[in-house]
Amino acid sequence: MASLKEIRARILSVNSTKKITSAMKMVSAAKLHKSEENTLRFIPYKQKLTDMLTQYLANIEPSTVTIPLAEKREVKRAAIVCISSNSGLCGVFNSNINKLLSQAIADYQAKGVAFTIYPIGKKISDYAHKLGYELTGDYNNLCDKPTYEDACEVVQPLVQAYLQGEIDQLIVLYNHHKNAAVQIPTQEVLLPLSTEVDAVAVKSGSNGADNGTQNLLYITEPDVETVINQLVPNVVRMRFYAAVLDSTTAEHGARTTAMQAASDNASKMIETITQQYNRVRQEVITNELLDIVGGSEALRN
Residues spanned by the domain of 181: 30-256
Q: Which of 261, 265, 259 is nearest to 32 (CA)?
A: 259
pLDDT mean values, one per 10 residues, the chain (301 residues): 80 90 90 86 82 74 73 88 89 90 91 90 89 80 84 89 89 90 89 62 44 56 74 87 90 90 90 86 78 71 63
Instruction: Report the pLDDT value the prediction gives residue 53, as an integer from 0 to 100.
Output: 77
Instruction: Report the pLDDT value the prediction gives residue 211, as an integer from 0 to 100.
Output: 45
Q: Residue 179 is inside which H or E element, if any?
A: strand 169-179
Torsion, Cα of 65, 66, 72, 75 (10° steps): 180
Instruction: Please check whether residue 123 lies inside any domain of the structure.
Output: yes
Instruction: Please check whether residue 202 lies inside any domain of the structure.
Output: yes
Instruction: Please check whether residue 53 lies inside any domain of the structure.
Output: yes
The DSSP output letter for 135 is B
Q: Rounded to an integer, what distance in angstroms lies between the CA atom of residue 140 and that of residue 191?
A: 22
CATH of the domain at 62: 3.40.1380.10
Instruction: Report the pLDDT value the prediction gives residue 204, as an integer from 0 to 100.
Output: 44
Instruction: Report the pLDDT value the prediction gives residue 61, as an integer from 0 to 100.
Output: 67
Instruction: Report the pLDDT value the prediction gives residue 213, as an integer from 0 to 100.
Output: 46
Residue type, 258: A
Query: What are the phi and psi torsion angles at 114 (to 5°)?
Result: -80, 145
Instruction: Report the pLDDT value the prediction gives residue 205, as an integer from 0 to 100.
Output: 46
Instruction: Please check whether residue 4 lies inside any domain of the structure.
Output: no
Query: What are the phi and psi torsion angles at 135 (to 5°)?
Result: -105, 150
Instruction: Please check whether residue 81 lies inside any domain of the structure.
Output: yes
Instruction: Report the pLDDT value the prediction gives residue 218, as an integer from 0 to 100.
Output: 64
Q: Residue 171 is inside which H or E element, if any?
A: strand 169-179
Instruction: Please check whether residue 124 lies inside any domain of the structure.
Output: yes
Number of separate domains in the chain: 1
Q: Which of 65, 41, 40, 37 is nearest to 53 (CA)?
A: 65
